[in-house]
């Protein structure tokens, strides 16, 4: 039975590969979107407030997708380090910079990234829609979720 459980850690490899492939795809999407934004700028730099806001929203969406790609990469690297090769932390500058030494640290890191993504989503909405009652409700709801996430990660330490 010990041998079965010992070798079952390689089942996590499917999640690691899936997360890594998702990160690569999202990085390619980000590059494609940025190429489109830059090529649109060659046609003319936004001169009005509305065009500037639309550019800001597009760039915030790129940042949002980038953070999601980084999250997938963090998940893949952390699960690899935790389940497949625990000694990989010392050999990799990327893994050692994450300071994820156990599953608990991974959960805290994912909570922190989720909070940043939510803040970016709120900024996107604020720039796109402006000050409205809908924005107030969205901000109130997100602030409650962010407060709960902060409370959760502080209580996890």
Q: What is the pLDDT of residues 33-77, one digit of tens each?
A: 999 999 888 877 877 877 888 888 888 889 889 999 998 998 888
Domain count, the chain: 1
Separation CA 80–CA 6 (nearest Å): 15
- Residue 146: the pLDDT is 92
- Residue 55: the pLDDT is 86
User: Token pair of 114, please?
Assistant: 């989720």
Tell me the Cα Rg of the chain.
20
Helices (H), 9-131: 12-43, 49-79, 88-91, 93-98, 103-129
Range of the domain at 93: 2-156
Residue at token pair 């962010």: 146
Positions of the chain with pLDDT lower than 50, given as ranges: none
């Amino acid at each position: 039975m010990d041998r079965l459980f010992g070798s079952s850690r390689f089942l996590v490899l499917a999640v690691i590969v899936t997360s890594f492939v998702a990160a690569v795809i999202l990085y390619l999407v980000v590059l494609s979107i940025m190429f489109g934004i830059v090529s649109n700028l060659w046609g003319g730099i936004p001169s009005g407030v509305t065009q500037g806001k639309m550019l800001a929203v597009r760039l915030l969406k790129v940042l949002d997708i980038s953070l999601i790609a980084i999250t997938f990469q963090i998940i893949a690297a952390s699960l690899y380090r935790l389940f497949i090769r625990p000694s990989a932390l010392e050999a990799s500058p990327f893994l050692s910079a994450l300071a994820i030494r156990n599953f608990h640290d991974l959960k805290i890191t994912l909570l922190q990234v989720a909070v940043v993504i939510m803040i970016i989503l709120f900024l996107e909405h604020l720039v796109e829609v402006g000050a409205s009652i809908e924005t107030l409700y969205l901000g109130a709801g997100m602030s409650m979720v962010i407060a709960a996430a902060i409370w959760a990660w502080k209580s996890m330490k």
